[in-house]
Amino acid sequence: MPADKLSSVFERDPEIVYVTDAEARLTSISDTAGSLLGFTQAELLGRSMFDLVHPDDRATAIAGFQESVRRGDTEVRTVEARLIDKSGATHFFEMHRRLHFAADGSLSGAEGIARDVTQSRRLQEQLRLYQAIITASADAVAIFDCDGNFVEHNPAHEKLLGYSLAQLRDAAKPTWCSPEDADRIATSLQASGGFRGEVAALTKDGRRLHIDLSMFAVMTDSGETRRFVGFARDQTERKREDQHRQVFQQLREQVLMMQGEADLEGVLTVLEDGLHAFGIHYQNCGINLLDLSTDPPSMRSRSSKPGGGWIESNTARAVRAVHEMWQRGEPTYRRDLHVDDPFDERRYLQTHAPIRAVVDLPFSHGTLALNSTSADAFSDADLVLLQEIAGVLSSSFQRIDDLRRLALSEARYRTLIETPDFIVLLLDPAGNYVYVTPRVQEWLGLSPEDFYADPTIGERIIHPDDVEIATAAFQRGVAGEAQQGVEYRWRRAGGEYRWASGGVYPILAEDGAVHTVQIVIHDVTRLKDLIEASERANRELLETQARLVQSDKMAALGNLVAGIAHEINTPVGAIHSMHDTLVRAVGKLKATIEEQYPECCREGNPLAKALKVIDDSNRVIEAGSARVTTIVRSLRNFARLDQAERKEANLHAGLDDSLMLIHHDTKNRVEIVRDYGEIPEVLCYPGRLNQVFLNILNNAQQAISASGTITVSTRVVGGEAHVVIADTGSGIPEESLSRIFDPGYTTKGIGVGTGLGLSICYQIMEDHGGHIDVASKVGQGTTVTIVLPLVPPDREETT
Amino acid sequence: MSTNLPATVVIVDDEEMVLTSLSSFLTLETDYAVHTFLSPTAALEFVGANEVSLIISDYLMPEMDGISFLARVREIKPDVTRIILTGYADKENAIKAINEVGLFQYVEKPWDNDNLQIVIRNGIEKQQLLASLRAKVDEINRAYAGLQKIQTDILKTFS
């Protein structure tokens, strides 16, 4: 800083005038010492001048003084020293002193003027600091005069623009910024004395920079503008980064919004803006989409032009070229088609514009392509940027694919899980419901929330008999065991139970522990009903069949018995009648003999003997024919063809007829005990009841292997006739007892029994409104109780 | 009831022993004139040619069943008492037959001789009552015819 700039400071500052003796003691001092150092004249007089000097400077001051004394220097010398004022503060003083010597050459005294230069010294210090800061600043700093000429600049400025100060001074016009920016700055400076904003700067080597510029005027105290100072920061890189970030941000946002290829137009628009912002110049920009699902692959292309639409590529050459470039996986740059045209595309590309350079950048589904009418149009940095863009496209297309797959699989899963055919329950191992199909609402009248809210809901809605089964199945699921066909009943909200067939599937976490138990339940109520109905139908069919067979048998037997009865009755009738006639004839003969030949009747007479033989013969013939008559009547009664008729019948007669029919099997082997009570005639189907009696009596006698007893007792018990047939036979094992009335069940072996007997009996008793009870003990015998209401329930006559 | 001549009874059965036993009994205990036939056709011939009070027929016979036979008898001699004797157990069919053909009695084999005798006696009585009734009616008819003739003659005389 020039000294004249500070002259005003000196002019204003007072100075101390002092005189010392040879010992440097103050002998005289001006009043100003009071205002500058705080001491009164009286306090200073007599004290050594060096006492006022700062201890650090004292030695130097004394040494300089003594040196001057030794040389006998009488010139005015200027020294600087720091003085301490009365309060102890330091002041910079500039002292101009001159020594006086006596004639003998000895020092007689000194006089001097001391000026306080503290202020100026501080300013100088600051100035040095500022200069250092400016020089070291990374920001470019320049100082202009009022005409806009460069006065000074710092190294950062030179580095930024590449011009030396001399070159800048010599330049006629500002070459570092555009005329528009220069005007803008000048206008602002004139209006407000400052400028702040972004300007584009041009470097010496022609690069275009974005500069954050701040300029202000430096004025004198009088307000006169002396200089302009400008600070400039290069924002090119930051700007570029911002732009890069912004473009990619926009691209990604656009891509995120993409739901399908139709939205690609928006992406391309953003892409174009980005390319423009990056300063990448091109003729056409487009996307080639390859479809590899066909053979050979097909391709659709889309230009960035708005509303361009998709163009189905119909040239095998173009498809092959793009496919090949796509397979390479890295940018394929044809720098100049005039020099090298590997894909033979010059003719094709130059139909609309004289394309020279083309680059294809592969991404997941095809290539991003740019071309230009300039050869070698794209720099390495451009290619890096374009590759980055291709990467964003890859992720966008993959995302579309993922979305599509996800939507598909979710839809598939949802359709599956919410199908009406089954409901899905997910439970954690503690038994809390994690997921419940909404379908459960239709199924049970409960919402999934009901399940989420209450983990014990199952115990309330599962049939009490089935809770154990369901709980055990779940616990096995928690233990990792998958199960199928677990059947239990759930109660609907209305109270009706529904049959469920459940599959229990443990879902394992990565560590192998059961993470979730999945329960898939089918409503098998209808199935159950169907099975039950079909079982019932099957049983009825068997019963019907049995009845048919039985009634066929009975009809056949009836016919047979009728025929046999006729055949037997004829001779029996003849014998019976003839015997009667014979008895009568013999009676007449005897009467005649007794009347006419009384002596012949005396005992010992041969004629009397002969008559006795005739009488005995007649008795035997009578007994025999009576027996035959009874058998035939029983047989005929039993197989009576009037069974369709319901009528009053004597149960004892039926029992007797039946016993008669098993007589040949029981005589001399089984004792028959009849214990008949008082039973009124019962309205029934006698023929069919006889069937029941015969069946059970036959079973009883068959159960007795050697000898035993069959006791037939009858009683009236509370409006019912009880016919109890008890045998002392082998008995029925407990496990068979429940099945003896099942159609087709037989223990007699194929060929012995049809297995239909007891089921028919059961049916007959049901038709009568009665039933059959069986009690049995193996080794002790069986007791069958046939229960028949005395007044049968009013029902339609069955055949 | 006085009868000048013993009643004629015809028995038809394809079994000789039945014929023998029945005729033996009736011969022993009654004075009916008993005629037995193994063949219904032969029996019909006899019935057509003779005065018969009562016919006992078996039900099942190879040549002709008893119902048809008795139906033919009714055609030629409606007043003859008809009894069927059967060993067949099918009572329902028998009753149907009785209703269709109009039988006097249905007797099951084996029969009781005393019961049968009563049935036969009643049957013969019925036949004889019918016969005497018919004779009386004939007499009346004849008298009536005579009266008509007299009336005609009187009308002719006075006309």
pLDDT tens profile B96-152: 777 777 888 888 888 889 999 999 999 999 998 988 898 899 999 999 999 999 999
The residue-averaged pLDDT of A381-409 equals 80
Direct distance between the N- and C-terminal alpha carbons of chain A, in angstroms, rounded to an integer: 143
Contacts of B34 in chain A (CB under 8 A): none
pLDDT class for A644, splitting at 50, 70, 90?
low
- Whether residues B21 and A573 touch (CB distance < 8 A) is answered with yes
| pTM to 2 decimal places | 0.39
C-alpha span between A776 and A759 (Å, rounded): 17
* DSSP annotation of A53: B
> Residue A782's pLDDT is what?
92
Q: Where are the alpha helices (DSSP H) in A139-283?
A: 155-161, 165-170, 179-192, 236-257, 264-277
Please give, rounded to a whole number of angstroms, the shortest distance from the CA of A792 to a CA of chain B. 25
C-alpha span between B120 and B140 (Å, rounded): 30
Candidates A569, A618, A629, A636, partner chain B, best to mutate (most B CBs within 10 A) = A569
With beta carbons less than 8 A apart as the criterion, state whether A369 and A288 touch: yes
Candidates B14, B84, B88, partner chain A, best to mutate (most A CBs within 10 A) = B88
The residue-averaged pLDDT of A738-764 equals 66
Judged by DSSP in three states, A124 sits in helix
With beta carbons less than 8 A apart as the criterion, state whether A111 and A74 touch: no
C-alpha span between B55 and B74 (Å, rounded): 11
Q: Where are the alpha helices (DSSP H) in A38-177?
A: 41-44, 55-71, 118-136, 155-161, 165-170
- Whether residues B89 and A576 touch (CB distance < 8 A) is answered with no
**Which has the minimum average pLDDT: A52-56, A191-195, A394-398, A763-767?**
A394-398
Nearest residue of chain B to residue A572 (CA atoms): B110
Tokens of A608: 């009397």
Q: In degrees rounded to 5, what are phi and psi of residue A331?
A: -55, 135
Q: In degrees rounded to 5, what are phi and psi of residue A264?
A: -65, -25
Judged by DSSP in three states, A701 sits in helix
C-alpha span between A767 and A758 (Å, rounded): 14
C-alpha span between A213 and B42 (Å, rounded): 158
Nearest residue of chain A to residue B112 (CA atoms): A577
With beta carbons less than 8 A apart as the criterion, state whether A386 and A341 touch: no
Nearest residue of chain B to residue A561 (CA atoms): B89
Please give, rounded to a whole number of angstroms, the shortest distance from the CA of B2 to a CA of chain A. 26
What residues of chain B have any CB closer than 8 angstroms to a CB in chain A?
Answer: 13, 15, 17-18, 20-22, 24-25, 28-29, 58-60, 85-92, 108-113, 116
For A424-467, what is each residue's pLDDT tens digit?
A: 888 888 888 888 888 788 878 888 888 888 888 888 888 888 88
- Whether residues B109 and A625 touch (CB distance < 8 A) is answered with no
A418-523 fold: Beta-Lactamase (3.30.450)
CA dihedral A694, A697, A700, A702 (to 10 degrees): -50
CB nearest B87 (choices: A565, A581, A640): A565
Q: Higher confidence at residue A593 or residue B98?
A: A593
Tokens of A240: 């570029």
Tokens of A72: 């006998």
Per the DSSP assignment, residues forming a β-bridge with A717 are A720
C-alpha span between A279 and A284 (Å, rounded): 14
C-alpha span between A774 and A332 (Å, rounded): 98
CB atoms inside a 10 Å sphere around CB A163: 19
Nearest residue of chain A to residue B92 (CA atoms): A642
> For A642-789, CATH number?
3.30.565.10
Candidates B14, B21, B30, B119, partner chain A, best to mutate (most A CBs within 10 A) = B21
C-alpha span between A332 and A361 (Å, rounded): 7
For A128-139, what is each residue's pLDDT tens digit?
A: 888 888 888 888
Listed in sequence order, the residues at least 6 apart from A433 whose beta carbon sits closer than 8 Å to its beta carbon are A425, A426, A427, A448, A451, A452, A455, A457
Structural domain A3-122, CATH architecture: 2-Layer Sandwich (3.30)
With beta carbons less than 8 A apart as the criterion, state whether A633 and A640 touch: no
Give the distance from CA A63 to its chain's centroid.
94
Nearest residue of chain A to residue B19 (CA atoms): A574
> For B8-158, CATH number?
3.40.50.2300
For A275-315, what is each residue's pLDDT tens digit?
A: 887 778 888 888 888 888 888 888 888 876 655 666 766 68
> Residue A799's pLDDT is what?
38
C-alpha span between A536 and A534 (Å, rounded): 5
Contacts of A588 in chain B (CB under 8 A): 28
Residue A260, pLDDT > 70, answer no
Listed in sequence order, the residues at least 6 apart from A99 whose beta carbon sits closer than 8 Å to its beta carbon are A68, A69, A72, A73, A74, A107, A109, A110
A138-234 fold: Beta-Lactamase (3.30.450)
Listed in sequence order, the residues at least 6 apart from A122 whose beta carbon sits closer than 8 Å to its beta carbon are none
Domain ranges of chain B: 8-158
CB nearest B28 (choices: A566, A585, A625): A585
What residues of chain A have any CB closer than 8 angstroms to a CB in chain B?
Answer: 558, 561-562, 565-578, 580-581, 584-585, 588, 625, 629, 636, 639-642
Contacts of A564 in chain B (CB under 8 A): none
Please give, rounded to a whole number of angstroms, the shortest distance from the CA of A567 to a CA of chain B. 7
- Whether residues A566 and B60 touch (CB distance < 8 A) is answered with yes
* DSSP annotation of A145: E
Residue A798, pLDDT > 70, answer no
Contacts of B21 in chain A (CB under 8 A): 573-575, 577-578, 581
Contacts of A561 in chain B (CB under 8 A): 89
Residue A598, pLDDT > 70, answer yes
Which one-letter amino acid corresponds to residue A518? Answer: Q
Percent of chain A residues topping a pLDDT of 90? 6
C-alpha span between A688 and A694 (Å, rounded): 10
pLDDT class for A796, splitting at 50, 70, 90?
very low
Judged by DSSP in three states, A770 sits in coil
Q: Where are the alpha helices (DSSP H) in A263-379?
A: 264-277, 316-328, 346-349
A240-403 fold: Beta-Lactamase (3.30.450)
∠ CA(A146), CA(A152), CA(A154), 5° rounding? 135
Which one-letter amino acid corresponds to residue A546? Answer: A
Listed in sequence order, the residues at least 6 apart from A77 whose beta carbon sits closer than 8 Å to its beta carbon are A64, A68, A96, A97, A98
C-alpha span between A128 and A145 (Å, rounded): 21
C-alpha span between A308 and A322 (Å, rounded): 20
Per the DSSP assignment, residues forming a β-bridge with A709 are A671
